[in-house]
Amino acid sequence: MDTSRQGDRRQAVDRRRSQLLEAADRVVLRDGPGASMNAIAAEAGITKPILYRHFGDKGGLYAALARRHTDALLDSLRAALDAPAGDRRERVEATVDTYLAAIEARPQVYRFLMHPPDTAPTSEAFEVARHSAPLLRRLGEELAEVISERVDLGPGGALRARAWGHGIVGMMHAAGDWWLGERPCPRAEVVRSLADLLWGRLAAAADRAGGPGF
């Protein structure tokens, strides 16, 4: 097979995978963590063996969906960090808000990627854990790179940027998970609270109280 025909075939396969991922997205938006391969195949108008041919198993489909949504989220986070207007505090708030807005807009997708259903077999719960941890690590590394590029942290700055990047992602993930599950307040209030913490408000509050803090 010549190179041009191989390229055409590759493009056709990529288009088909994209169509199948869009069908999977529709099912996930409807069913959340309970989305099944049977339902996704039916939505795409194909048989389950064809779905397996493209992704291997549910773990392969899960990984492809995770990358698809992580790529989109990272693009949004970079845009918030690179916004030309506003000071650093405003960009920090915009970044936190971008993350929370993303999980609020598609909570079923978030739960599919981060939480196995209560009735999931052990193997399926393992698949979620196996792919959600690298997803968060990737976000942490990407944010660390952004911090390192934009803030002069001096000697040892690269290591500090990685610690901060992973720490911030962990904070946003844990706080977002709590907020999305309970909805105790408007999103803007959570954004301000997390930005306060990132901006040193915890240390400042301890200093004002005159105590040892933690």
Instruction: Indicate if 89 and 195 belong to the same structural domain.
Output: yes
Instruction: Decide if 139 is inside a domain.
Output: yes
Q: Do 106 and 188 reside in the same domain of the chain?
A: yes
214 pLDDT tier (thresholds 50, 70, 90): very low
Interior/surface letters 166-200, b for 16+ CB within 10 angstroms, e for the rest:
bebbeebbebbeebbeeeeeebeebbbebbbebee
Q: Are 141 and 196 contained in the same domain?
A: yes
| pLDDT tens for each residue of 148-180 | 887 778 888 899 989 999 999 999 999 999 999
Taking the whole predicted model, whether its pTM rises above 0.85 is answered as: no
- DSSP 8-state symbol, 33: G
- Residue 211 clears pLDDT 60, i.e. is over it: no
pLDDT in tens, 174-207: 999 999 999 999 999 999 999 999 887 656 655 5
Tens-digit pLDDT profile for residues 68-115: 888 888 888 888 877 776 677 888 898 899 999 999 998 988 888 887
Q: pLDDT band for position 2 (50/70/90)?
A: low
Statement to judge: residues 34 and 76 lie in one domain: no
Q: Phi then psi for 116, rounded to 5 degrees?
A: -70, 150
| Predicted local confidence at residue 90, as pLDDT | 86
How much is the pLDDT for 99?
92
Q: Is residue 211 part of a domain?
A: no
- 106 shares a domain with 25: no
| Domain membership flag for residue 214 | no
Show the domain range for 168: 66-206
Question: What phi and psi, each to the nearest 5 degrees, are found at residue 56?
Answer: 90, -60
- 25 pLDDT higher than 80: yes
Q: Is residue 74 part of a domain?
A: yes
| Same structural domain, 52 and 80 | no
> Is residue 78 a part of any domain in this protein?
yes
What total number of domains does the chain contain?
2
Q: Which two tokens stand for residue 210?
A: 């005159």
The CATH number linked to 46 is 1.10.10
Does 6 score more than 80 pLDDT? no
Mean pLDDT across the stretch 45-62? 87
Is residue 1 pLDDT above 70, yes or no? no
CATH, residue 183: 1.10.357.10
For residue 183, the model assigns a pLDDT of 96
- The single-letter DSSP state of residue 45 is T
